[in-house]
Structure 1
Amino acid sequence: MPEARGGLGGAGPSRYLPIAEHGLIGDLRSAALVGTDGTIDWYCCGRFDAPSVFASILDADRGGCFELAADVPSRTKQFYFPDTNVLITRFFAEDGVGEIQDFMPIVDDSREADRHRLIRRVVCVRGALPFRARVAPRIDYARQEHTVSVEQGQALFSAPSLTLALTTSVPIETDGRDVWSLFKLREGESAVFALDRVGGEVLPRSCPLGEAEELFDATVRYWRRWLSKSRYRGRWREMVHRSALTLKLLTYAPTGAIVAAPTTSLPEQIGGERNWDYRYVWIRDAAFCIYALLRLGFTDEAKSFMQFLSQRIRVGENSSGPLQIMYGIDGRSELPEELLPELSGYLDSAPVRVGNAAVDQLQLDIYGALIDSLYLYDKWGEPISSEHWDTVCTLIEWVCDHWDQPDEGVWETRGGRQRFLYSQLMCWVAIERGMRMAAHRGLPADVMRWGRERDAIYRRIMRHGWSDERRAFVQHEGDTVLDASVLMMPLTKFISPTDPKWLSTLDALGEDLVSDSLVYRYDPQASPDGLRGEEGTFSICSFWYVEALARAGRGDDARLAFEKMLTYGNHLGLFAEEIGRTGEQQGNFPQAFTHLALISAAFNLDKTLG
C-alpha cells in the first residue's frame, strides 16, 4: 500500500490542509472538495445532505479519502478549466508535469441520473511521472463497515446503505478495506478513475479512456453554455462569474433548492463549538442567491426555487409562521441535530454536527428576503402567476400581524429572543415590495392595511432602533450594541445612503466592527449569543460594507475595500463564511452567502464608478 497522506498514523496539523486549499466540484445533486494535493477530503454521494463517503477534512484518521497524486516530490497548482466547474490540479516534478482533471458529469433525469459518477482523469503532459492512488471510503460518517471485492480492474465497496463501484484503467490492489494503485504515465498518456453509486437498475460499468474524454467535453460544454447566459460585463467579470458558477454548484436540480454550503461542521473558530451543518436550504440565503443570479440574467433558477417554496407554505400549522427558516433539499421540514463522536472534527474542532436545531427558530427577516426576490423576479424575470401572488399576500398578511414580536434574528443566536432591528427592517421590506408589485401590476391587495403596518415599522425603527448615545442604529431595542446587519438599511432603500443618521452609523460601524475592510457581525462579548468562543470577520458583511460605502458616495473607499476583500479569496476565488485573524478561511466552504454578496457588491460598485 502506498504511504498515506502525511504519513501513516498521527493526526497532527500537517494532515489537515487549510480549508482554503480546496476546490469544489459537483453535479447539481452533490459535491466534493478536492485538496491542492489531489486528495478528495469531502464527498457525500447522491445528495448534498447524504452521509459522507469521504470526510478526512473532519477526521484525518477515520474520515476516509480518495488520494491521487504524483508519487515523487512535486509542486502543485490548481485552477478551474476556464468558465467551468471542472477542476484541474497540476503536479510539477523534476522529470515531468502531470494533472488531474476532476469533475462530476451532469446528466439528465433518466435512470442514469442515479449513478452519481465522480471522474478523476490523470494526464501526463510533459516527461514521465509515477502516480499513486488510494481509495479509502468510510461510509455513513465512518459509522458503517464495508467489504471490498476486486474483479477485472473494478472494485466494489459494499456497505448496508451504499454500494460504490470503482473502475479504473490501471491495475489496482486491495487489503480488504481500501484500494490502491501505483502506476506511471509518459507524456501524452492518461489514466481514469471513476467512482459510481450502483444498485437497483444502476449496474457497475467501466469508464474507458475515450468515454472519460467524451464526458469531460460534455461537462465543459454544459457549464459554458450555462454561463453564457450571464449579462455581467463589469470590471470584475472573472470573480463574478466564478461566484455565479459556485452558486449554481450549490443548487439541487431535482427540486430547485439551493444549499447554504456543501459542508458541515467546518469551524468558525479552531477548537471552538461554532460548528454547524449548512447542507440545507435557508430561505434567506436561497432568496438572496436568487437576487444575485437574477442580477446576472439567470431566471430559470428563480423559477425553480419559487416552485420549491410554493409547496412549503403552511398557514396556521407552524407557530413560527407560514415558513420555516430552513428545509431539507427535498423539502422536508424536520432536520434533527445530532453529534457524531465518531469524527474528531477539523483540527480536533469538535463537535461534528449533522442536522440543525435552528430549524425551529423564529427569524422574521426571511419574509423580506423572500418577497424582495419575488419582486425582482416579477420585475426582471417574468410576471408572477396569480397563484404566486396569493402566496405573497398570505405571507404579507402574516407579517402585518407578527412583525413586532421578538425573534432569534438573522445570526440565529442561541441567547434568547430580542426585537432585532434587522428583523423589523426586513418585515418593512416584505410589505413595501408587496405594495410595489400590487401597484405595478394592478394586483388585488389590502394596500391600506399594508401601508399602515409599513409606516408603523418605519417609525418603530427610527424611534427605538436609533441610539443617541452611539449616534448610530443598533442591533436591537433596549441596547447600544452595534451590528453589521444594519448595513442593509440603505441597500434595501429603507433610508437614504446619504442620510446624516446613516452616515453617522456608517462611521460608527467603521470604528467598532471594521478591520482592514473586514467586518465583524457584532461583538459577542457585548451581545452574548449563547455560545462560547470568538469568531472571525463575516464575509457577507464585508461585501455589504462595500455596497454601503459606494451608495454613500465614497466610491474610492468602496473600491479599495472590495479589492482588499478579493485578496482573501482562495486561489480559485472561493470564499468560506468567515476570515480569521491571519487571513485564513473559517467556517463551511464555499459559502453561498459570501458569493452572492460579492456579486451584488461588484454589480453596484460598477454602477457607482461608471
Structure 2
Amino acid sequence: MQSDYPPIENHGLIGDLQTSALIAQDGTIDWFCAPRFDSPSVFASLLDRNSGGYCRIRPERDDVVARQLYLPGTAILITRFMSPEGVGELMDFMPVTGKEPTDRHRIVRVLRTVRGHMRYTFECKPAFDYARARHEVVSHPQGVQFRSGPHRLNLCPVRSEHVGDAQITDHAVRYTIDAAEGDDGGLILETGAEYPPCAVPPEEIWQLYDQTRSFWREWVGRSQYRGRWRENVERSAITLKLMTYAPTGALIAAPTAGLPEQVGGERNWDYRFTWLRDASFSVRSLLGLGYHDETRQFMYWLRDRIADSAPKIMYRIDGDTDLAEESLPHLEGYRGSSPVRIGNDANGQLQLDIFGEVMDAFLRASDTGLRPAWDGWRKTVQTIDWLCDNWSRPDDGIWESRSGREHNTYGRVMSWVAFDRAIRLADRLGLPADVHRWSAARDAVYLDVMNNGWDEKEQTFVQRYGSSVVDAALLYMPIVGFVSPTDPKWLSTLDAIDRHLVSDSLVYRYDPLQSPDGLAGNEGTFSMCTFWYVDALARSGRLDDAQLAFEKMLTYGNHLGLYSEEIGPTGEQLGNFPQAFSHLGLINAAMKLDSYL
C-alpha cells in the first residue's frame, strides 16, 4: 500500500565514497547497492516494500517519536528514538574506503540506550540483484551470512548479553535486543567478505567510529567557505562528497534509481551515473569551497571522457558507456510509480550544451594551475573543431526530452560558451588552435541566438527556435556571461520567467503542456532551477528578492538539509534523492549572495 512507504524526504544518506545507503527515520535501511553506486541493489524496499529487501532496527513500542540528525561536521547519521520508557540512539555510518575499487563495504549500526530501558527489534532481509536473485541464510557461531550466487552479506553482531536468540528463516533474520541505560550494542553489515561472519568487539566499533568522524571533520575543515550560510553549505558539500566515486573522482547525479518525479507516474529514472553537465558544474562549487584536490581528480576523469571520439552525455562511474535502459516489472515502484527503470537510454541523446559546461570547467580548473597535457589538448581541439561543424544541429536539450530534437536556445548559448572558453584557454596557456575559426563560430552562434532565440512580440528569449515559451535553463544566460544581467532583453526575459515558471519563489524547469516532452503527467518545481533563479535575481539587481527566495528554498530541505530533484505542491520532495544538481545549486547560490551582501 502507498501508506507503507516513507516520504522520500524522510531519509538520511551515509556512504564510504564508493557506494551509499539511505536510512529512513524509523531506522530502516531501504536502499543500498554494492559494491558500487551503480551496482544492483541489496536493499530496495524503497521501490517495493514487500520484496525489495531491508535492514531495520527499531523499538518494539508503537508510541516512539523518532528524530534524525548528523553528528556535526560528519556523515555519521544519528536516529533518536524517544518514548516514555526510555531514549535510544542508533548511529549509522560507513567506514571510508580507499581509492582502489573494492567489494568489501561495511555499514556500522551502533545502538545505544541513553535513558531508561528500551526493547528493540532487529530484522534483516536482503534481496540481491534488485530482488531478482534468490538467497539462503547460513547461521554461524558468531553471526549470520546471506549467500546469493557469488555474493555474500555478513551480519556481525557486537558481543552483547542483550542479544536474544536469532530467529532465522530461509530469507531473513530477526531477533530482539533488551537494553538498559548505558548499554551499547549493534552490528556490522559487510559485503564482499571472503570469510565467515564473526562477532565484533565493542572497541573495534568505536575505533571505526573515531576514524570515520576524524576523516569527515578533517575534510570539512579544509573548506574555505566562511559565509553566512555555512551550515547549509557544509551539509551540501558533504552530500556531494558522499556521491563521489573515490577511485575515479566521478560525481553521480544521485545515489538512487526509480524515485518518481510524479508519484504514480512514469517519470522514474536511474540517476546513478555521471553526467558531464552535472559534474562540470561541480567544478565551480569545489573551487569556490577551496577543494582543489577533488577538482583535479575530477578533471582527470573529465579529460579522459573528452578524449573519446564522440563524448556521451553521461557515463558509468568508471567511464563505461553501457547504460542500456531496462524496466523491472517485478518491483511495484515507490508508491506504485512504475515502471522502475535501471540504466538510462538518454545516454544516446545529442545535447550540445555539454561542450560549454565542459570547457567552462577546463577554464576554471586552469585557475588552479591545472594545464592540459598535449594529447589532452589535441583531443580538446578536435572536439571544438567538431562543434564548429555541428553547433547548428537540433538537439535533445538539457532536460532530455523524448519528443524529438529541436533547435534549443540553451544548447546554442552553451555552444557559444564552449567556443569562448576554448579561445580563452588557448590564449591564456599559449596553446595552438585555429582561434580565428573558433572566434568566427562563436560570433555566428551569438548572432544566431539573438536572431532566432528572441521573440520580439513576447520580449523574451525562448526555449527553442520558433516557439514563444520560456524555459528555466535561460536563467543560466547571465551566469555564463552570454548577456549582461542588466540588459533590457534579459530583464524582460526574467519577468517572463517570473510570470510563467515561478510559483512562490520555486521554479518549474518548463511547462509540459506548452513544451511536450514525450512523457505523460507533470512534475514538481526543479530545485536546481530555483537556485539559478536566486543567482539571476542577485546579478540583475533584485537582491532582496534573491535573498528571500533563497531563504524560502532552505525551508524545503529535509530535516537533515538534503534535497531531492524536485519539490511537490505541498513541499514534499520528488525524484531521486539526494540530488547533486540541487546541492551544487545551493552552494553556488550561497556564494553568489555572499558576494553581494
Q: Contact 1:88–1:101 (CA<8 Å) still a contact in 2?
A: yes
Cα offset for 1:381?
Answer: 5.4
Q: Contact 1:428–1:458 (CA<8 Å) still a contact in 2?
A: yes
Find the aligned partners of 2:100 and 2:339 in 1 and give their Cα distance.
39
The equivalent position to 2:122 in structure 1, one of 119, 133, 138, is 133
Q: Contact 2:34–2:103 (CA<8 Å) still a contact in 1?
A: no
Aligned to 1:596: 584
Find the aligned partners of 1:208 and 1:47 in 2 and give their Cα distance.
28
Flag the 1:161–1:290 CA change in 2: closer, same or farther, 3 A.
farther
Residue type of the partner of 1:105?
P
Aligned to 2:266: 273
Aligned to 1:355: 343
Residue type of the partner of 2:6?
L
Cα offset for 1:398?
Answer: 1.7
Residue type of the partner of 2:320?
R
Q: Deviation per CA, 1:344-372: give whole Å up to 9, x if none.
A: 00000010001001111000111111111
The equivalent position to 1:335 in structure 2, one of 300, 319, 323, is 323
Flag the 1:198–1:440 CA change in 2: closer, same or farther, 3 A.
closer
Q: Secondary structure at the match of 1:266?
A: strand
Cα offset for 1:107?
Answer: 2.7
Q: Contact 2:261–2:575 (CA<8 Å) still a contact in 1?
A: yes
Residue type of the partner of 1:375?
L
Greater alpha carbon shift after TM alignment, 14-23 vs 65-74: 65-74
The equivalent position to 1:308 in structure 2, one of 301, 307, 313, is 301
Find the aligned partners of 2:14 and 2:167 in 1 and give their Cα distance.
27
1:549 aligns with 2:544: no
Find the aligned partners of 2:526 and 2:97 in 1 and give their Cα distance.
36
Greater alpha carbon shift after TM alignment, 369-378 vs 307-316: 307-316
Report 1:343-422 matches (<5 A): 343-380=331-368, 382-422=370-410
Find the aligned partners of 1:43 and 1:285 in 2 and give their Cα distance.
23
Cα offset for 1:594?
Answer: 0.6
The equivalent position to 1:142 in structure 2, one of 131, 143, 159, is 131
Aligned to 2:472: 484
Q: Secondary structure at the match of 2:287?
A: helix
**TM-score of the aligned structures, taking structure 2 as reference length:** 0.97
What CA RMSD, in Å, does the superposition of the two structures yield over aligned residues? 1.4
Aligned to 2:175: 181
Q: Secondary structure at the match of 1:276?
A: strand
Report 1:148-167 matches (<5 A): 148-167=137-156
Flag the 1:131–1:140 CA change in 2: closer, same or farther, 3 A.
same
Aligned to 1:533: 521
Residue type of the partner of 2:490?
W
Aligned to 1:4: none
Aligned to 1:294: 287
Find the aligned partners of 2:434 and 2:196 in 1 and give their Cα distance.
57
Cα offset for 1:162?
Answer: 1.2
Q: Contact 1:294–1:381 (CA<8 Å) still a contact in 2?
A: no
Q: Contact 2:527–2:567 (CA<8 Å) still a contact in 1?
A: yes
> What percent identity do the matched residue pairs reach?
52
Q: Secondary structure at the match of 2:56?
A: strand
Flag the 1:311–1:478 CA change in 2: closer, same or farther, 3 A.
same
Find the aligned partners of 1:497 and 1:380 in 2 and give their Cα distance.
27
Q: Deviation per CA, 1:305-359: give whole Å up to 9, x if none.
A: 222233334555xxxxx20001111211111111101100000001000100111
Q: Secondary structure at the match of 2:254?
A: coil
Q: Contact 1:192–1:208 (CA<8 Å) still a contact in 2?
A: no
Find the aligned partners of 1:599 and 1:381 in 2 and give their Cα distance.
23
Aligned to 1:41: 30
1:56 aligns with 2:45: yes
Q: Contact 2:142–2:197 (CA<8 Å) still a contact in 1?
A: no
Q: Contact 1:326–1:359 (CA<8 Å) still a contact in 2?
A: yes
Cα offset for 1:304?
Answer: 1.7
1:513 aligns with 2:501: yes
Find the aligned partners of 1:164 and 1:315 in 2 and give their Cα distance.
37
Aligned to 2:77: 87
Find the aligned partners of 2:140 and 2:485 in 1 and give their Cα distance.
67
1:193 aligns with 2:183: no
Residue type of the partner of 2:501?
L
1:78 aligns with 2:68: yes
Q: Deviation per CA, 1:429-481: give whole Å up to 9, x if none.
A: 11111111222222222111111100111100111100012110000111111
Greater alpha carbon shift after TM alignment, 183-192 vs 358-367: 183-192
Aligned to 1:239: 232
The equivalent position to 2:313 in structure 1, one of 316, 325, 336, is 325
The equivalent position to 1:101 in structure 2, one of 70, 76, 91, is 91
Flag the 1:592–1:299 CA change in 2: closer, same or farther, 3 A.
same
Find the aligned partners of 1:139 and 1:255 in 2 and give their Cα distance.
26
Residue type of the partner of 1:228?
G
Find the aligned partners of 2:387 and 2:285 in 1 and give their Cα distance.
24
* Structure 2 portions without partners, runs of 5+: none
Residue type of the partner of 1:227?
V
Q: Contact 1:38–1:100 (CA<8 Å) still a contact in 2?
A: yes
Q: Contact 2:99–2:246 (CA<8 Å) still a contact in 1?
A: no
Report 1:428-439 matches (<5 A): 428-439=416-427
Find the aligned partners of 2:271 and 2:369 in 1 and give their Cα distance.
28
The equivalent position to 1:284 in structure 2, one of 277, 283, 300, is 277
**TM-score of the aligned structures, taking structure 1 as reference length:** 0.95
1:465 aligns with 2:491: no
Q: Secondary structure at the match of 1:506?
A: helix
Q: Deviation per CA, 1:236-293: give whole Å up to 9, x if none.
A: 0011111111111101111211110000010000111000000011110111122211
Find the aligned partners of 1:245 and 1:315 in 2 and give their Cα distance.
31
The equivalent position to 1:560 in structure 2, one of 539, 548, 564, is 548
